[in-house]
Structure formats: C-alpha cells, structure tokens
Chain A
Amino acid sequence: MAEFYVTIGLEVHCQLLTKSKMFCRCGTDYIGKAPNTLVCPVCMGLPGSLPVLNTRALELAIKTALALRCEILSQVVFHRKNYFYPDLPKGYQISQYNFPIGINGEVKFFSQGVQKSVRIKRVHVEEDAGKLVHEGPGLPPNSSGVDFNRCGIPLVEIVTEPDLHSPEEARDYLVMLRSMVRYIGASDGNMEEGSLRCDANISVSPSLQELGTKVEVKNMNSFRSVFRALCYEIERQRTILEKGGTVIQETRHWDEREGVTVAARGKEEAEDYRYFPDPDLLPISIEKEQLQEIEKTLPELPLERKERFMMEYELTEGEAGVLTQEKDTADFFEACLKEFHKPRLICNWMLTEVLKNLNELNIAISESKVTPEALVELIRMVDKKEISGTIAKGILEEMFATGGRVREIIARKGISFITSERELEKIAREAIEKNPQSVADYLSGKEKALHFLIGQVMKMTRGQADPEMVKNLLLKELSSGE
C-alpha cells in the first residue's frame, strides 16, 4: 500500500468559567435547569437590547491566550457573524474576526513518548448559542424547541494550524489542551457536558508536498470519538484515493452509534457571514500593565510542572504525567511533600491507594475528605513501621469514607501499635519456641514452614505486624542459632 500523509487541524471551543454570561448578567449554571429560566432581554435578543461585556470573560480569554503563548493584540474588537438559525436570537453571533485576542501561539505535548509541538493560529472569544431539542414529551410533532439558557455563555475558540499528523496526536493534543485550560481555571474542559467541543479538519495525501482535500468533521462528543472519527476518515479518504477517486471538500458528521462519518445534509452554497465590526460594542484597548497583571496569575503549566516533578522528585515520566494531569492532584502531592519530604513514598501512595479510592468513590481529589496533612500522618506511621502497610490501606479507605484521622480510627478500632522492633523480636522468639517442629522443618529445607511461622506471629499480633518485618526477624532468629 502506498504511503499516505495525514494532516489534521483542530478547532476547539471551551466554555469559560464565569458566573455570568458574556454580554449580560444572567447566570451560567444552566445544566439541569428548566428551559428559558436563565434569560433576559439581552441574551434573548429582544428589540432594543444591547450587549455589555463581562470583564472576567475577557480576562479568562486573555489568560488562555497567554497560556498558549500567543501574541496578544492591543485592541479587542468584536465582529458580528450573520446567519439565521433558531438558536441564534439576534440573527447574528457576536464573535471576533480579524482582531482576535491572541495569535501565533504554541502548545507542546507528548504523544506516544515523543514531544510534539502544534502552532496555535488564533484564540478568540465569542458567545454561545442556545440549545435545540428535537424530541421530547409534549413537543408537538414535526417541531423543535428552543432553549436560550445557554445562549450568551462566553466561549473561547482555539484554532490550530494543521500541524497534527495522526489521530493519536490529535487526541493527545486535546488531552494537553484540556489539562491546560483546567490548570488556569478558564474552563472545565468537559466534552461530555459540552464545556469543550471539538471540530476537526483532516486531509490525506499521497505526497508530502501537496495537501489533500480538506474535510471538516463535526459532532464528536468525547476524546475517544475524536480518535475514532479521525481513524475512520483517514481510512475513508485513503480508500477513495487508492481507487483513483477524488475526495469531496465537505462537512461530515460523526455518527457515534454506526461508527462512520456522514455527509452533512443539504447545505446550500457556503454561507456568507458578512462579518463587520459590531457597532454596539466599542473597541477596548489592552494596556501592558493589564496584561502583566493577568500573566502574574498564570500558574505553572502542566508540561513544565511535569518536567519539574521528573527532575526535582526523580519521578518517571509516567508517574509525573499522572500526578500533573490535574492541577489539584499536583497541588495535593506538593502539599504532602511540604509536610513530609519523601517524594518516592508519597508518589507511590498517591498513584496506588489514593487514586484507587478516588475512583471507587467517583470523586475528584478536590472533593476528597482526606487532606494532604491527614495522608501524610498515615504515611509517616507506615514509614516508621508503627503500623503495617496492609493495615494502613484499610485505615485510608476508612479515612476516605468518614474523613477521620489516623489516630482516631486506630483508637476506635482498637488497633494497637507495634511500636518497637524489640517487641516483635520477642513475639518472633515466642513463636519459634512454641513451634519447634516448624523450626526443624524449615531448617531441613521446607520453605513452607517459614510461612507457617510468619502466620503464627501475625496471629499473635492480631495481624498488626508488618509481614515483611516479621519474615526478616524470623530469618534472623532462625539463622542466628538455636
């Protein structure tokens, strides 16, 4: 099969985490609300209504553009994008055209172990449209319903240059982008809830020099969908080209159920959006001082933090990657280190037990009842061998459930400490004395006998000894002579 080169560009929309809408004071927490409750004359486009910009939306958009290393333009100008659709009450969307917030940025990310870079063409800000429902109880036949709760929510649009060359790269870029917008607090970046949306442009070509026909793919609702849709498209386009056909430039929708892309129905000739500067919104100048203030609020970004974790804490890329994917997780980790600087130990606990508990409870680390201080308390005790690892895991599970602290749980459950190795030594000797047959068996080569002895010590300590420590002590006693 001949070589084919894939070129992908992604256009991502993120809903900004503001409490009020972009051009009016309506609230933004529309999920689960009854239709048309978070509305007002402005976001419903009533005659005579006018837009007034939300400063926080502007701030978050600039913050996003800065995080993406864009050059920020000195003036913010809004343009109207004119077209008719029921979820667009004014008959135009307030967006940006030739004066976006930022241009010429870059995102670095890892894909299959290799560092990649994708150029960001532009970052701009615009208002979201309302929602359409096509079926539902009470909906008259042959009709659709419009809900304007979502209309007017601020969106930031991030457009890449066609620098991605595989579905894996596309997905990994999205994962990094999502991580970044969550780090800076600009967006939730949740595709399933609609706070992150992605459209793709993909072309396939037999030659490196010439790009193939660009096809737009829409309606992908998860990172996995994006991956699958792009894989499908590549196959589809390759098949056409191999048979000597031409790929049609068009928009296709991803059908999640069937696993195929379908040509979008009956779009008349390309829409002419007749962009022009919105006369209801005056241009806003961005002062250098303002930019500097916003820049100061940028946290250490995921890639940089991961690299620092790897270097400073001697973690592997995989470990650092998991710890830094969410800012809250990385913050939690470093808060633990502040209390108890043992990166390797804390990392192990976090990557195994902590994440396991969070998954089982289906909560985010920010909702955890276990604080960094509490976790450290537990880990210290294990480290000092005051309790066994096994016991500690059980205690941690209880801490996650109730929010209690170690010592309180230990007291309540009557778990006693094995505080000195000496005490364990005593018990080991006792076990040896009480079981001369097992000792004899072990010394004559039966390994199983050792396990029996370990079991005896564990029984005598009611399971509260560290099995590893017990084994070592027994071996010492057994080998030191009879």
Chain B
Amino acid sequence: MTVDVFREFRIRDYHERLRKKELSVGELLEAFLGRIQNVDTQIRAFLSLNEEARAQARELQENVPEGVFPPLWGIPIAIKDNICTENLPTTCGSRILENFVAPYDATVIEKLKKAGAIILGKTNMDEFAMGSSTENSAFGPTRNPFDLRRVPGGSSGGSAAALAALEAPLALGSDTGGSVRQPASFCGVVGLRPTYGRVSRYGLVSFASSLDQIGPMARNVEDCITLFEVISGSDDRDSTCAPYPPFSRQDIPPEREIRKMKVGVPREYFASGVDEAIVKKVQEILDLLEREGLECVEVSLPHTDCALEAYYIVAPAEASSNLARYDGVLYGLRGEGSTLQEMYFQTRTRGFGKEVKRRIILGTYSLSSGYYDDYYLKGMKVRTLVRRDFEEALEMCHFLITPVSPCFPFFLGERTASPYQMYLADVFTIPSAMAGIPGISMNCGYVDGLPVGLQILSGPFKEGWLFGLALFLEKALSLVSPFPRLPERS
C-alpha cells in the first residue's frame, strides 16, 4: 500500500486510511522516509534521522487504538534542531553542539509522543536560530524546493523545506523575530507564531527568551490547527508559559462570524521597499475579502520602522547571555587549552559561526556598563511603543493583514555580505513578535513559480480568529498543485 504524497496530504486522510486498515503506520512512514531518501540530497532539510522510527511505527501498529485515534497517531513529524529530543542529536545548527544529545525531551516532544506522533528527524536551521535564510547553519544551507538556487528562509528553513518537498506532513519550528513565518512564506506552507507563552519553551534551546516561541508548521491550515492543539498549553517547568489549557478548535469562529469581522491594513507595511508583485498579491487577497463581506480599513502602526532596531538591541542582548553557557565545561565542543581561559576562548571562537559572534558582540555591548541605558533600556522602551501600536490598532479591527516578507526568496549568497540587508528580510515579522501577539503565515499565491506568503495578525490568545480567517481564505483560494515536483533520485 502506498501513499501518493502529492494527492493525500492531510492528517485526516491518513487517519481515515489507517482506520480502514488500508494503510499501516509503517507504510505511511516509508512514504516519507523514501521521499527523504529521494530528494533530501538536493534539499538538505534534515540534519539527522530517527533510527528508531521504524521500530516505533511497528509498536504503534501493534497497538491500534479502539475508537478515536490520539490526534497525531502514526503521523511522522520533522523537528527543528533546537528542540531537545532525547536520543537524537540537538545541534542548533552549530559546531559547538555538533555531538550534543539532549538527556531529556522538550515538553512539546513529550506531548507529541503522547499524541502518537513519530519523529522523522531533526531539521536544519540558522545557527542558534540567528538568521533569515538557513545559510548560517554550520552544516551547510538548505535549499528552497520551489527553486533550488534560492533560500528556504530562516531560521526554520529546514522544517519549511521539508514540508514543501513533501518529506514530512508536519513540522515544528521556532519563531523569535519571524523564524517560522518567513520560511513558511518562502516555502509556500502554513506556519503559526503563537501568542508569547502559549507553548512551553522547556526544551527549546534559548536564543532570545522574551521572544522565542515554538510554532506548528504544516502544508494546510487544518493540520496546523491539530498540531497546535497538541503542543499548546500550560507547563509548570516554564515560568513564562501562560497558565491556560491547550488551544481547542472550538475557539475558531464559524465562517458566518468571520464574514462579519474587520480587517486592518497597516499602511507602513505597504510603503516603498516592498516588492510590487508581493503588494499586488496581498491586495488581491484584500479585494477577495471585501467581496466576501469583510470590511477592510486602513490603520497605522507608527513605530514599525523602529521595531527592527529595537529588536536588534534586545534580542542579541538576551542571546549573549543565553549563549554564555556554551563554555566547554559540561557538554558540547571543548576547545584545546592548558588554562581555563584558553579553553573558554578556544571553545567559543571555534564553536560559534560569524553571525552568532556578531550578535554576541552586539548584545554584550548593549548590556555593558555605561551603555545599558542608551541601548538595552531604550530597546525595552521602544518595545512598549510597538506593543501599544498593536493594542490601539486592534481596537479598530479583528485582524491585521500584511505581507510576510518584503521580498521573494532570494538566491543563496545574495545577502550574506551585509548583515543588515539580511535583517531587513524580517521587517514585517519582527514587530508583532516584539508585542507578543500571534501571527499566521499562509500561502496566497505564486509569482513566477515562487510562493507569496500572507501574514494575518491578531490580539493575544486570538489564534482561534487567525485560524478562522486562514481556513476561510484557504478554501476561497483553493490553490491547485501547491507543491513543486522535484527530480527524484533514480
């Protein structure tokens, strides 16, 4: 029994076939393992594969549940390599953790296992989640399945590419300034950045603690919802995790309610600097929504252009502290050194890549004595202004709709010369992350074969609304053959 990964790509479809015993868990798994074998040498989405996957599939198959299946039963999932998985490496795309195997599972991994999911493997990423193209990985870049010369976005580029290349039906990524939404957009898949605190960070290797969130990624909105239901919810091992129960699809308003809602269009996101073809595509969506009865109003988020700078003060500062633990003492790479100081310097100099070092320098500087007020404190104050912008705008509408990225997926090597140019790729995803509000990225069309991502933002804990509008749009757009055919290895 085989699976045509091009035609059947919903959990719902797989569960139906599994229930009818038309398909076994092992066969479902093989479809993806086979696909990985065929295309991953070109894509390089995966850094490691789960050797136990087949055995786990067999075990699941031997214990088919009576009645309702646990939500992800038998479903393979790809995990970004900064989420701790026991018995599988967690490298964070870095040499300094190249051989690190976490001695514990992240909370989200425990939840996935309980829901019956099978981990396929760990996906490639920008080192320590710092980047927007996955070119900062110490193990080589991942390529965009839509055009192998282009980047898949970052930092969750491996997860997004795996989905687009049909190597996995589900994936987990992490979003600090856009690292789930932007690669989702570049690869034509769905990615959610939850409200800050909605998903436990226990087991997510920290980059910027006040911004990091684990996000569900999938090839369609419904599967993203299912995955989000499984991973969200309170955790007493994470002080920043909100004490609320997991998300439930009961919170998604029906279509008729969605039609009555108001959409805000922030003018700052359509100013110059955004590729015209992208603006046009997003405008088409807004026109569609108006035709369907939703009201679209122009709003303003006046501090949008300061958010990027504030982010590049706050995030590297937190990162510089979060990355101090990589010192060669307990785990990871240890540099040669006959003295303690030599060991520290060798470990960190050899172990970290350029972008990580840049951000550590920037972050350490922002926090250092004499500069704290001018940099870190200022960054935190601007964050307050950015938050207020969203609070005020969202009083006038239910959603904000924007492009995810000001540009199409660029070519590998195109932006590596200038860090700041690379940072600009996240200009539309950073502000909402600073405010802690949720945002979803979904495909809204193609231009010259390259996907365009649409970003929908809403207020804290309004993921239900986001999913509601996303489902609505997905249906209305009914995009055909969304995934590229890749030359398979013979």
Contact = CB atoms under 8 A, between A and B. Distances in A.
Interface of A: 41, 44-53, 80, 82, 84, 86, 89-92, 142, 146, 272, 274-276, 279-282
A280 B330 contact: no
B104 interface: yes
Interface string B1-33: 000000000000000000000000000000000
Contacts of A89: 325, 329-330
B318 A279 contact: yes
Given A276-B376, A279-B318, 16 more contacts: A46-B102, A47-B84, A47-B90, A48-B201, A49-B202, A50-B237, A50-B240, A53-B239, A80-B321, A82-B367, A84-B324, A84-B344, A89-B325, A92-B321, A274-B369, A281-B240
Contacts of B106: 48
B313 to A, nearest CB: 11
B321 A82 contact: yes
B319 to A, nearest CB: 11
A48 B372 contact: no
Interface string B300-321: 0000000000000000011001
A146 B318 CA distance: 26
B239 A281 contact: yes
A428 B269 CA distance: 114
B367 A276 contact: yes
A49 B84 CA distance: 10
A90 B324 contact: yes
A80 B372 CA distance: 14
B325 A45 contact: yes
Nearest to B377: A276
Interface residues of B, number: 44
A279 B197 CA distance: 12
Contacts of B321: 80, 82, 91-92, 274, 276
Interface string B193-210: 000000001111110111
B100 interface: yes
29 contacts: A41-B103, A44-B330, A45-B325, A45-B330, A46-B104, A46-B330, A47-B84, A47-B102, A48-B201, A49-B202, A51-B239, A82-B321, A82-B367, A84-B344, A86-B327, A89-B325, A89-B329, A90-B325, A91-B325, A92-B324, A274-B367, A276-B317, A276-B318, A276-B321, A276-B376, A279-B210, A280-B239, A282-B239, A282-B240
A218 to B, nearest CB: 20
Nearest to B210: A279
A285 B350 CA distance: 43
**Candidate in B84, B209, B321, B369 with the most chain A CB atoms within 10 angstroms:** B321
Given A41-B103, A50-B201, A90-B325, A276 B372 contact: yes
B421 interface: no
> 8 tightest CB-CB pairs across the interface, nearest first?
A91-B324, A279-B209, A274-B367, A279-B210, A47-B205, A48-B203, A48-B84, A272-B369
B361 interface: no
Contacts of B317: 276
Nearest to B241: A50
Contacts of A275: 367
B338 interface: yes
Given A52-B236, A274-B364, A276-B376, A47 B92 contact: yes
A301 to B, nearest CB: 33
A51 B327 CA distance: 20
Contacts of B206: 47-48, 280
Contacts of B84: 47-48
Give the interface centre of A46, A50, A90, A281 by most chain B CB atoms within 10 Å. A50
Contacts of A45: 325, 330
A274 B104 CA distance: 31
B102 A280 contact: no
B295 interface: no
A450 B283 CA distance: 123
Contact of A46 (B204, B208, B237, B331): B331
Nearest to A52: B239
Interface in B86-120: 90, 92, 97, 100, 102-104, 106
A482 B96 CA distance: 106
A50 B103 CA distance: 15
B460 to A, nearest CB: 15
B247 to A, nearest CB: 21
Among A53, A86, A92, find the residue whose CB has the most chain B CB atoms closer than 10 A.
A86
A200 B237 CA distance: 38
A167 B408 CA distance: 73
Name, among B102, B204, B239, the residue most crowded by chain A CB atoms within 10 Å (CB to CB). Answer: B239
Given A45-B330, A89-B330, A146-B329, A50 B324 contact: no
Contacts of B97: 47
Nearest to A278: B209
A48 to B, nearest CB: 4
A47 B364 contact: no
Contacts of B340: 86
Interface in B334-356: 338, 340, 344
Contacts of B204: 48
A90 to B, nearest CB: 5
A80 B363 CA distance: 14
A177 to B, nearest CB: 31
A149 to B, nearest CB: 14
B234 to A, nearest CB: 12
B384 interface: no
A82 B324 contact: yes
B229 interface: no
A48 B85 CA distance: 11
A7 B207 CA distance: 45
Nearest to A271: B369
A286 B325 CA distance: 31
B368 interface: yes
A292 B302 CA distance: 46
Contacts of B210: 279
A86 B327 CA distance: 9
Nearest to A274: B367
B147 interface: no
A91 B209 CA distance: 15
Interface in B234-248: 236-240
Contacts of A52: 236-239
A86 B347 CA distance: 13
Given A80-B321, A89-B325, A279-B210, A47 B100 contact: yes
A46 B330 CA distance: 8
A50 B237 CA distance: 7
Contacts of A281: 239-240
A275 B240 CA distance: 20
A91 B360 CA distance: 13
B210 to A, nearest CB: 4
Given A52-B239, A281-B239, A86 B329 contact: yes
A48 B239 contact: no
A41 B104 contact: yes
A196 B329 CA distance: 28
Nearest to B332: A47
A146 B239 CA distance: 28
A283 to B, nearest CB: 10
A270 to B, nearest CB: 9
Interface string B235-268: 0111110000000000000000000000000000
A44 B106 CA distance: 16
